[in-house]
Structure 1
Amino acid sequence: MDTSARPTHRPVRQLLAASVGNAVEWYDWYAYTFLATYIAARIFPEDADDSLVPLLSTFAVFAVGFFMRPVGGLLMGAVADRHGRRTALTVTILLMGGSSLLVGLTPTYAAAGVLAPVVLVVARLLQGLSVGGEFAASTTFLVESAGPGRRGLFSSFQYVSTTAGQLAASGLTTLLVATLPEESMNGWGWRVPFVLGAVLSLAGLWIRRGAEETRSAEQRRAPRPGLLEALRRHPRESLLICGITAGGTLAYYTWTSYLPTYAELNAGVEKSEALLAGTISLAFFGLLQPLGGLLSDLPRARTGPRGGVPVGRRPLLLFFGLGFALLCVPLLHALRDSFAVLLLVSCAGMVLLTGFTSISAAVNAEIFPPRVRAAGIGFPYSLTVALFGGTAPYVGTLVKELGHPGLFPWYVAAVCLLSSLVYLRLPETAHRELRR
């Protein structure tokens, strides 16, 4: 019997390998987001004489956010399928650590001219490649590492670690801004989180190098899959990933990233209160994830001749999708200039959102066969995130500028409703054996 296909006997080490590395990845990614204004002032000065500077600034934002993440999902997913999950996890964290250090060491425009924005663009392209590949590799690794009846729980740590990274970046940025003089923050303070991120990447690399490979010996002996084999041989499954992800990623970025800004623009909430409510609800969200994963793993309760309570992946997905379709508009319309109301709305959305985020990694991994699992997940997932999640703040801001801010909640609700139709037709996979 091929024992290499069995789940690992070191589940804690496996969880740490995926979670710590993923947290570092997202810490580095969000650090750039929180410090963007400081970086822009030093690298993309408004009074720059060279006309290439504003062009490169635009390219940095769009090329990374809407192009490199799907490319990273495809390429790093292929690495995971061809050379092993652990190899792909090593590559992604090295890419993120190196690109984070590159951001931290980027020369200013005053010192290097147009070379400064070029270096920053390269660093952000590498970060986008790494983040896009991280989900594909870590999702597959986490779910394949889980023992029987624990795939949902292991899956939930994808967003536990993502949230931890976001909170760490936000906390460190807040601390630096609060303690350093403005001159120091503009001079060298903004570089500190990125240099620290590179150091943390080394710690994540050390943990990941001690993890066990989850690809079976049979898979390692089989011919290596082609780069586009998942798309070519499994088009239905690829489209299924898009349908599952569309509503979830739009709701996720709306509630975890855009909601404080939305509350400022549409309800007059003070910026400091909006950010505090967002931070508290984000911490609450991270704590909810394992509960959602555990709930999806519970066996059906045999309470009568016709079965019992339908516990599994699909009920949680429908709880999320239909919940957002019905409640997104009332929740966002309920916002007013009140910290308490904003916090309640934020936390209510986080509860609904957990129905998707806590199990999305497991659902995705259970759709594809192991030969192309990572690449099969990586490209359609990252592409859908770029199209729906990454554009959420832009769509919300655009409809506000056009004078129709009330349309944005309906947009979120409609996409979640469409994803719910996909969830209704999904087969329940929670209690099936994972293909290895």
Structure 2
Amino acid sequence: MSSAEHTEPLTKGAPGRTASPLRQLAAASVGNAVEWYDWYAYSFLAVYFADQVFPKDAGNSLVPLLSTFAVFAVGFFMRPVGGLLMGAVADRRGRRAALTLTILLMGGGSLLVALTPTYAATGVLAPVVLVVARLVQGLSVGGEFAASSTFLVESASPGRRGLFSSFLYVSTTFGQLLASGVAALLAALLSDAQMGSWGWRVAFLGGALLSLLGLWIRRGAQETHRAPQSAAERPGLFEALRHHPRASLLIGGITAGGTLAYYTWTTYLPTYAQVNAGFDKGDALTVGTLSLAFFMLLQPLGGILSDRIGRKPLLLGFSLGFAVLVVPLLGLVTDAFWSLLLVQCAGMVLLTGYTAVAAAVNAEVFPARVRAAGIGFPYSLTVALFGGTAPYVGTWFASSGHGGLFPWYVAALCLVSFVVYLTLPETARRPLDGTDAPAPEQAAPQA
């Protein structure tokens, strides 16, 4: 591999100073939290604006069709496209350029949601505007993982890539908790009529403003990748897939079990408890919030551990743990508050073996030239196929009278990822450019 493909030292940013590690962490993490706040706010607040945008009694058959497309499909359909396009921007123009673009797109999408007209005022234009907004947000969030994970890992000093990697899910979880908290606060302060009329728009306007904060922080960060200077040197859109097909397949195998387990435990488990154990809906939301906060605190610990002992032990522990324990764990869920809390927190501990190191492992698979695009497309496609469908597969099993089969589905896919992890070389102490040369002496990371 040529030296041009090695990760370059920090070269650009605020003039006259070198960015601190904290500034680099903030640039990726704050922006990523804002991205996921905007993304999850839609889910938490949809109940308040759905009737305004998608009226059930609408005579136009396009309305329910657009509703289904917007709510269930459009975001996940756009994520692989966003991963490919924003990843290409990161490889061609630099990581900061992609990070700037993703947060602008997410902020613009949130603003568009906030300004979406009602069906009563504009007819079918209302759901069309909302679909466009979700298209934009899906494009943004699909590219965010590729750009921010690459930027985080490249910003890390030797021996700290796992720690920096872990902040991707710290910020993702914080954004989810923030969206939940804002939605709950607005619902507590406003009447149902006010929430349905204008209250839900406040949350999206707030997301658009938060995007400006994230944009300001990201513009002060320093570049981690020297982009090609001429068009002839820039990597093609599908260069990573053409020249690194094995690495692309590896990303899918690395991600499949992890994304299914992640969406099952962080998104679907409260619903699973309600459907299969008669768990109280309000208590399920409380348990979900508490377990997410616990999960967020675990991530840096997992990252630090991976820098000390390697990525493979954590990945193998996660996948084998889920393959063996997911069925008995879900079997322990009853209608008692503590049963769900303990099961969800136990799963979060296992899940950290994947989430804390996912960004580092993915970045360590590809050379710098195509790293962001190489990660973005296969990762987002795998998430769309397995992660995004987890709630629907689980609900389908339950509705067909075979709810007990869903845990076996999770176990089987985690076992597939376990086999993939067995084939992975240990990359924690290798140079980030992906060569087999020994890494420089690394200082032990500090907690």
TM normalised by structure 1 equals 0.95
Matched, 1:126 2:124: no
Aligned residues of 1:65 and 1:390 also touching (Cα < 8 A): no
1:44 to 43, 54, 58: 54
Quote the Cα distance in structure 2 between the aligned partners of 1:90 and 1:66.
21
Report matched runs for 1:240-251 at 5 Å. Answer: 240-251=250-261
Task: Give the superposition deviation at 1:49.
Answer: 1.9
Quote the Cα distance in structure 2 between the aligned partners of 1:68 and 1:39.
22
Match of 2:32?
22
**Secondary structure at 2:364 match in 1:** helix
Match of 1:379?
377
Report matched runs for 1:286-297 at 5 Å. Answer: 286-297=296-307
Matched, 1:232 2:259: no
Matched, 1:212 2:215: no
Structure 2: which 5+ residue stretches go unaligned?
11-17, 435-447
Q: Does 2-11 or 74-83 show the bigger shift?
A: 2-11
Aligned residues of 1:63 and 1:125 also touching (Cα < 8 A): no
Report matched runs for 1:137-148 at 5 Å. Answer: 137-148=147-158
Aligned residues of 1:65 and 1:386 also touching (Cα < 8 A): no
Match of 1:6?
9
Aligned residues of 2:316 and 2:422 also touching (Cα < 8 A): yes
Matched, 1:66 2:76: yes
Amino acid at match of 1:316: L
1:223 to 216, 233, 245: 233
Match of 1:106?
116
Task: Give the superposition deviation at 1:36.
Answer: 1.4
Aligned residues of 1:88 and 1:137 also touching (Cα < 8 A): yes
**Secondary structure at 2:117 match in 1:** coil
Quote the Cα distance in structure 2 between the aligned partners of 1:370 and 1:13.
22
CA shift in 2, pair 1:371/1:170, >3 Å: same
Aligned residues of 2:75 and 2:139 also touching (Cα < 8 A): no
Match of 2:428?
430
Aligned residues of 2:32 and 2:168 also touching (Cα < 8 A): yes
Percent of residue pairs bearing the same amino acid type: 75
**Secondary structure at 1:35 match in 2:** helix
Aligned residues of 2:7 and 2:368 also touching (Cα < 8 A): no
- 1:167-211 deviations in Å (ceiling 9; x for gaps): 000001011112211110110011111000000000000000000
Quote the Cα distance in structure 2 between the aligned partners of 1:36 and 1:235.
39
Quote the Cα distance in structure 1 between the aligned partners of 2:340 and 2:71.
29
Report matched runs for 1:135-284 at 5 Å. Answer: 135-216=145-226, 219-220=228-229, 223-284=233-294
- 1:22-64 deviations in Å (ceiling 9; x for gaps): 0000000000011112121110000112111111112213442
Quote the Cα distance in structure 2 between the aligned partners of 1:380 and 1:208.
25
1:348 to 346, 349, 354: 346
Quote the Cα distance in structure 1 between the aligned partners of 2:282 and 2:181.
14
**Secondary structure at 2:140 match in 1:** helix
TM normalised by structure 2 equals 0.93
Say how many residue pairs are matched: 423
Match of 2:438?
none
Amino acid at match of 1:360: A
**Secondary structure at 1:427 match in 2:** coil
Quote the Cα distance in structure 2 between the aligned partners of 1:159 and 1:329.
25
Quote the Cα distance in structure 1 between the aligned partners of 2:72 and 2:389.
10
Report matched runs for 1:88-103 at 5 Å. Answer: 88-103=98-113
**Secondary structure at 1:367 match in 2:** coil
Quote the Cα distance in structure 2 between the aligned partners of 1:291 and 1:180.
39
User: What's the Cα RMSD here?
Assistant: 1.5
Amino acid at match of 1:323: G
Quote the Cα distance in structure 1 between the aligned partners of 2:72 and 2:52.
20
Match of 2:86?
76
Task: Give the superposition deviation at 1:4.
Answer: 8.0
Matched, 1:317 2:315: yes
Task: Give the superposition deviation at 1:220.
Answer: 5.0
CA shift in 2, pair 1:9/1:191, >3 Å: closer
Amino acid at match of 1:136: A
Task: Give the superposition deviation at 1:9.
Answer: 5.1
Aligned residues of 1:89 and 1:134 also touching (Cα < 8 A): yes
Amino acid at match of 2:400: L
Structure 1: which 5+ residue stretches go unaligned?
299-310
Amino acid at match of 1:72: G
Quote the Cα distance in structure 2 between the aligned partners of 1:174 and 1:92.
27
Matched, 1:327 2:334: no
1:404 to 402, 405, 412: 402
